[in-house]
């Protein structure tokens, strides 16, 4: 990736403790306005396994947002409709005052991809 002025680029697997530590070192003590998670697992084609992998990544993003967002901060996370979808929406509702479901125009109609937007971190 070409360098972008003022942007720190970190490539790695967010599930690995070393990568999370590197990201947290970049953030430091600052609280963030926004966390965007466009993470997606390698899909196997087995619906229940893929739903669990997606849920795991979204739960990691929720935990990171909880630890690093300002009180009025927001989290945008890619999710896929499937077995874990309703549970992920409920997890967002537990953590944020407002939860919106967004299907971007750039996403194909038949794609199960959706984004959950959580606004206003609950104390």
Instruction: Select which of 31, 78, 100, 103 is catalytic.
Output: 78
Is residue 100 part of the annotated active site? The answer reads: no
As given in the structure block, the two tokens for residue 63 are: 């935990």
List the beta bridge partners of residue 82. none
Distances from the Cα of 49 to the Cα of 42, 45, 54, 111, angstroms: 11, 8, 9, 18
Is 65:73 a contact under the CB 8 Å cutoff?
A: yes
Catalytic residues: 78
């Amino acid at each position: 990736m070409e360098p972008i002025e003022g942007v720190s680029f970190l490539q790695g697997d967010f599930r690995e403790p070393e990568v999370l530590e590197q990201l947290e070192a970049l953030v430091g003590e600052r609280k963030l306005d926004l966390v965007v998670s466009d993470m997606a697992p390698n899909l196997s084609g087995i619906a229940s396994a893929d739903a669990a992998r997606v849920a795991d990544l979204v739960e990691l993003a929720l935990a990171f947002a909880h630890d690093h967002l300002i009180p009025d901060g927001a989290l945008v996370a890619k999710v896929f409709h499937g077995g874990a979808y309703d549970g992920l929406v409920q997890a967002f509702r537990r953590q944020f005052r407002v939860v919106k479901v967004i299907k971007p125009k750039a996403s194909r109609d038949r794609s199960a991809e959706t984004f959950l937007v959580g606004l206003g971190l609950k104390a």
